A and B are shown apart, each in its own frame.
Chain A
Amino acid sequence: MAETTGEVPNRSATERAPAARNNFGALVILVLALAPQIIELLTSCAGLIFNFSGRNPLQVLAGHGSALLLAVAGLATQSFGGGKAALSSDTLLALIYTYPMLAVALFTLLVRLRAPQDYFGGVVLMAMALFSLWASSDLQGMHGFSFGAGTAPRMFGMLLLALGAAVAIVGVVSDGPDLAIYHWRGPLFVMLAIVAFAVSIRPLGLVISGLASFLISALGTPETRWVETLIVGVCLTIGCALLFPYVLGLPMPLFPRFLVQ
């Protein structure tokens, strides 16, 4: 690919600065590779505060840390020693998901991407596929000629892995569009509104949580004018409070629990 760019000088004008982009892309993939571990760590920290049962953060950190460092060693001893001891779930995660994704991150650093949009799309699909392979690794596979619970997920997981890789490779070998620009404001506030609704609908009821999520999602654009938004929000909430429970007969709490009791 390098020599073609040399031959066609006028194309270099439209070319992106690949180095900077790739470093950032590789970093994102690195984070993606460690995402399951990070997420488990965060949920276990939250577990300390809200008192879930489950592993505490230190256990999580130790489990994943040793798994990440020693996964290969574990695999080697198992295959050489012929030991029946099954690999732990953490080790499997490292082996099935994290290591391949780290390899992809490294690969990203080394190649010049000609269609980043396709490349990163394909890589994320690969990540999903690898993750699903790990998630279904504890399920029973084929026994005899009948399918086990894990056969189909693994089959489709492998297929998606191959397809994701193909999409990514297309992004390396042929020209295509650059990454589209991601915005943060719209997604952030719309998601916040959705989560706020989900958290508050049971304890606070439709009237409060509906209005609250209306106002939060209105933050998603700078063009919101608050007076009219408030009026429309109140009208919509009243409308929904009449429509869903009364007209459609779908039971849901309307007012905060502590007020009703």
Chain B
Amino acid sequence: MADLFHNLALGFGVAVSPINLLLCLIGALVGTLVGVLPGIGTIATVAMLLPITFGLPPVGALIMLAGIYYGAQYGGSTTSILVNIPGEATSVVTTLDGFQMAKQGRAGPALAIAAIGSFFAGCVATVLIAVLGAPLTKLALAFGPAEYFSLMVLGLIFAVVLAKGSVLKAIAMIVFGLLLSMVGSDIETGASRMAFNIPELADGLGFATVAMGVFGFAEIIRNLDAGAEMDRDLVQQKITGLMPTKKDLIDSAPAILRGTVLGSILGILPGGGAVIASFAAYTLEKKIAKDPSRFGRGAIEGVAAPESANNAAAQTSFIPLLTLGIPPNAVMALMVGAMTIHGIVPGPQVMQKQPDLVWGMIASMWIGNLMLIIINLPLVGIWVRLLRVPYRLMFPSIVVFCAIGIYSINNAPVDVVLAGAFGLVGYWLIKHDFEPAPLLLGMVLGPLMEENLRRALLISRGDWSVFLTRPLSAGLMAVAAALLVLAVLPTLRRKRDEVFVESES
């Protein structure tokens, strides 16, 4: 316990330094700014803004990125409440009741409750990370290569089960991602694999490059299909009365609490993350409500619960990353990319060797949440004006900004062309109803998986049963297998589809 306070104190010591506070503030502001732009999701926002953190020291860069991440999420909620366009998957459910509230002239309270719920969830999740961080790190030390491999398989299976649509297609996407991660030099022998003598490929496909292509460029091209003037029924009334009434607060308090608990649990699971948390929280609220018919007509619980759940999940998903070094979702995968660029290999060692970095980041999450609540509520008017920027002007700006950003990573023009190519790949994926997020996750986990697989088999002298004879690994594998079976079983599949259909009804 004393350890916990010591760690948190250390973290706040780092995070409260003026420069880091400033970075956190800028990150949250810029993240919201980009996240508010319709059609740009959290992943695209983080990928786009990744290059602007390169010039900073590692701690500052990570703090800023964390700020960007929360900002982007909050920006996504703002657009879903005000314009009925969810910036990203996590805020899809927020549109259901949030937009209805806005139509009834209660956009202010909806935004305020979203912010308050997020802040509360953020506080709880921050404490949770601090509490769970150290013991999980100890657990991580008991992990051998076989266990790591099994855990990653479990994570990928989670990602499959929780992805929208066909299980088969999601698995195919993961394997495609794994295959893409093989491009470049082999870790052990240094042999060049599938690089076709292109020097820029010798180092492998850059993760940010692929992410920017598949999420940034592909999204732009897709939006252009629909015509540049997207159908936007912007709420025209002036937003008045920002503060929620006492009744609103009383109504939403239990919803926030439930959302936080649900989100925190789902966030820790590898592959889980924020999307499923917000869906699950909304479904739960609807199930236990006395009058479920209020939902979809502007029930404040329908905003409070998913918003707090997705923020809690967003934050607790840092736990597997910081303790085990395994990114549980695509955004965390980008964070790994950022850490690697700064020479940090995420995992149990980081916690011990660079406690200031880890705890500084954890503390800055809390501060970031606080800032969101302080800066965003007064700035709602500006965000609304931003939403009126026509897409015909916005998309060329995004193209150029992304291109400059990718170029600045390695100063390599080839990277820009590759990102463009992956934009086309992403467009093709969308047209054939493949989810790009599992692909990204597979790509990040690929090298880790291969390395641990090779090591495990080397240690066991080529015996594949090692994954089933070591108890911890066998347990993880069993859970993965059970999940996969459940996912293809008809009854659960229907349930799972129901959860996702909720948003479209």
Residues of A within 8 A of B (CB): 117-118, 120-122, 124-125, 128-129, 132, 135-136, 139-140, 144-150, 152-153, 156-157, 159-160, 163-164, 166-167, 170, 177, 179-183, 185-187, 190-191, 193-195, 197-199, 201-202, 206, 210, 213-215, 217-218, 220-221, 223-225, 228-229, 232-233, 236-237, 240, 243-244, 248-252
CB-contact partner of A117 in B54, B186, B433, under 8 A? B433
B166 contacts across to A, CB distance below 8 A: 118, 167, 170
Are A197 and B403 in touch, CB under 8 angstroms?
yes
How many Å lie between the Cα of A132 and that of B221 in the bound state? 27
Given A124-B428, A153-B194, output 20 extra A-B contacts at Cβ < 8 Å. Answer: A117-B432, A125-B172, A136-B193, A145-B458, A145-B462, A146-B462, A153-B179, A160-B175, A167-B166, A183-B224, A197-B403, A198-B417, A210-B400, A217-B399, A218-B392, A220-B395, A223-B228, A229-B392, A240-B404, A244-B51
- Smallest Cβ-Cβ distance to B428: which chain A residue: A124
How many residues of B sit at the interface, in one of the four size bands?
35 or more
**16 A–B pairs (Cβ distance < 8 Å), ordered by A:** A125-B172, A144-B462, A145-B461, A152-B453, A153-B193, A153-B194, A157-B179, A163-B172, A170-B166, A183-B225, A190-B423, A194-B399, A195-B417, A210-B403, A213-B400, A249-B55
Q: B175, B416, B462 — which one has the most chain A CB atoms within 10 A of its CB?
A: B175
In the assembled complex, the Cα of A166 lies from the Cα of B453 at a distance in Å of 25
From A240, which residue of chain B is reached at the shortest CB distance? B404
User: Closest Cβ of chain B: how far from A168's Cβ, in Å?
Assistant: 10
Tell me if B419 counts as interface (CB < 8 A to partner A): yes
CB < 8 Å neighbour of B172 from A160, A197, A210, A252:
A160
Contact B404 A224 (CB under 8 A): no
A140 touches B191 (CB 8 A): yes
* Chain B hits for A183, CB < 8 A: 224-225
**Cross-chain contact of B431 among A132, A182, A195, A213 (Cβ < 8 A):** A182
Question: Which of the residues B54, B220, B393, B408 comes within 8 Å of A252, measured between beta carbons?
Answer: B408
Residues of B within 8 A of A221 (CB): 224, 227-228, 392, 395
Question: Once the chains are docked, how many angstroms separate the CA of A160 from the CA of B176?
Answer: 6
Report chain A residues within 8 Å CB of B191.
Answer: 139-140, 149
What chain A residues lie within 8 Å of B189 (beta carbons)?
140, 148-149
- Which chain A residues border B461 with CB–CB below 8 Å? 145
| Residues of chain B from 441 to 482 with CB closer than 8 A to chain A in the complex | 450, 453-454, 457-458, 461-463
Residues of B with C-beta under 8 A to A223: 227-229, 392
Q: How far is the CB of B493 from chain A (nearest CB, A)?
A: 14
**What CA separation (Å) do A229 and B416 show in the bound complex?**
23
Whether A167 lies near B176 (C-beta < 8 A) is no
Contact B179 A160 (CB under 8 A): yes
- Please pick, from B176, B228, B399, the residue contacting A193 in the complex, using a CB distance under 8 A: B399
The reply to whether the CB of B427 lies closer than 8 angstroms to some CB of chain A is yes
Q: Which of A122, A125, A145, A190 contacts B221 (CB 8 A)?
A: A190
Distance of A236 Cα from B172 Cα, bound (Å): 40
- Closest chain B CB from A248 CB (angstroms): 5
- Quick one: closest B residue to A210, CB to CB? B400
CA distance A128 to B429 in the complex (A): 13
Asked if residues A201 and B408 are in contact (CB atoms below 8 Å), the reply is no
Query: Are A201 and B407 touching (Cβ within 8 A)?
Result: yes
When distances are taken between beta carbons in the complex, the residues of chain B under 8 Å from A179 are: 431
CA distance A9 to B228 in the complex (A): 41
Q: Which residues of A contact B457 (CB under 8 A)?
A: 145-147
Residues of chain A with a CB closer than 8 A to B450's CB = 152
Within 8 Å by CB of A198, from B186, B401, B413, lies B413
Contact A120 B432 (CB under 8 A): yes
